[in-house]
Amino acid sequence: MKNRTIVTDFPRISELGSDLLQISWCQRVRTLSLPFMFCLAFWVFACYGLWLFAFLALVAMSFITYGSTSHDLVHHNLGLKRITNELFLSVIEAISLRSGHAYQVVHLNHHAQYPEEDDIEAEASRMSLLRAILEGFIFQIRIYLWALRNPRGRLRWIVAEGVVVICFILAAVIAIPFTLIPIIYVGLMIAGSWIIPLITSYIPHDPQAEDAAHQTRLFRGTLFRLIAFDHLYHLEHHLYPNVPHQNWPRLAQRLDPWFEQIGLKSIRFWF
């Protein structure tokens, strides 16, 4: 391992295919619609007392917002006009009880600074497993406060989104004598954010490695694809952040020969 070649040259996106940067109109509409559909599904199922389905709707909503839709909006990967992109990011993360522009500031800093210690998003990668799990309880508050101190021109968005989230929570508390559905929604959405440091930082990153090809782990295998709902391409995203999530599997397939060439071993579980 000590003799491993340090990788500094990566295939250009033009060599891999500029089609990787494109998505269809249908893909764009589906990506933007899913968070609202799952949010609506929760309220419908909850009103009918179908709590298992309501819970699963919010699990899906938490997953696709932070990992897919909001993530693409953070990187401006959906081909939207800037103001349209910012509005969708703000609204979709607000109904997820998070600040979209705090997420954007912190995540873009992660891409610019990782694996340096001033990358707050990847701090969990330098923690123990237990500490990374516990980090989830304070992670959203920490990144919001960090973004307030480092707004990168997005301060008004961040402040407004924080106010909206607080208002949502207060409204849910006020509604408790009449219905528990809003406070359950709030509780489940907040709980859904607790695993973010574990899933997005601790598991995929290795900040002690020598270069960008090894500082993020490579995952392959059908089982991992099923568990991650085809979102296991963290290394590929680090190398090519402008590729929309819909194209990650194709990007991975085109990169596999290069990974093999540099001797990069993937992590597999069973198959």
Is the CA virtual torsion 76, 228, 186, 107 positive or negative? negative
CB 223 within 8 A of CB 266: no
State pLDDT tens for residues 197-250.
Answer: 999 999 999 999 888 889 999 998 877 777 777 778 999 999 999 999 999 999
Q: Which residues pair with 267 in a beta bridge?
A: 219
CB atoms within 10 A of CB 123: 21
What DSSP designation does 216 have? Answer: B
pLDDT confidence of residue 224 = 74
Residue 109 has pLDDT above 80, yes or no: yes
8 Å CB contact between 71 and 94: no
Question: What H or E segment, with its residue span, contains residue 226?
Answer: helix 222-227
